[in-house]
Amino acid sequence: MRRAVCPGSFDPIHNGHLEVIARAAGLFDEVIVAVSTNYSKKYRFSLDERLEMAAETLASLRGIVIEPMGEGLLAEYCRQRGASAIVKGLRSSSDFDYEVPMATMNRQLTGVETIFLHAEARYAHLSSTMIKEVAGLGGDVSDYVPRAVQRRFAEAAGAAHD
């Protein structure tokens, strides 16, 4: 069983994430989408909401498991889950510069490898931060996020107008 972990905040999950997860699912028997919590970070969506949005969106893909990652070391989480690789998307050279030191540290900690999948050009500008800003200011993000996320943004906008 070749198992990989796709870690992230997924606050919220967007089409760039989906594309990388789907490609990872084609390379591994099982992909764990590990939704992180960092108590020093302020999230737009709760952990339960982030898990639900990922689960609703990825329900049709085979070989995907979605679970909370907890607060500990990613390398240790991978070791406990029997995952030999971390899969991450790379959008730009600044992603590369940011990710390679972490990949090196993770490998030195437990031997886990990191595999980078280049983002498709149409998704290379996407980030959860930008999507939250556009949606929060009333912009249309329907080309960038799955329905489960669109629905939550719409609910939040509706609640704001109540």
Phi-psi region of 63 (alpha: psi -120 to 50; beta: other; left: phi over 0): left
Residues at the interface with ligand PNS (CB under 6 A) = 7-9, 36, 73-75, 102, 105-106
Q: What is the DSSP letter of 39?
A: T
Q: Are 152 and 60 in contact (CB under 8 A)?
A: no
Any known ligand binding at 22?
Answer: no
């979605």: which residue's tokens? 66
Q: How far is the CB of 7 from ligand PNS (least distance, A)?
A: 4
């909370």: which residue's tokens? 68
Q: How far apart are CA 147 and CA 56, in angstroms?
A: 9
Any known ligand binding at 77?
Answer: no
Any known ligand binding at 17?
Answer: yes
For ligand PNS, give the closer residue by CB, 9 or 57.
9
Q: How far is the CB of 67 from ligand PNS (least distance, A)?
A: 13
Any known ligand binding at 27?
Answer: no
Q: How far is the CB of 102 from ligand PNS (least distance, A)?
A: 4
> Which residues are annotated as catalytic?
17, 41, 91, 128
- Which of these, 36, 38, 89, lies nearest to 66 by C-alpha position? 36
List, as residue ranges, the binding site for substrate: 9, 41, 74, 88
List, as residue ranges, the binding site: 9-10, 17, 41, 74, 88-91, 99, 123-129
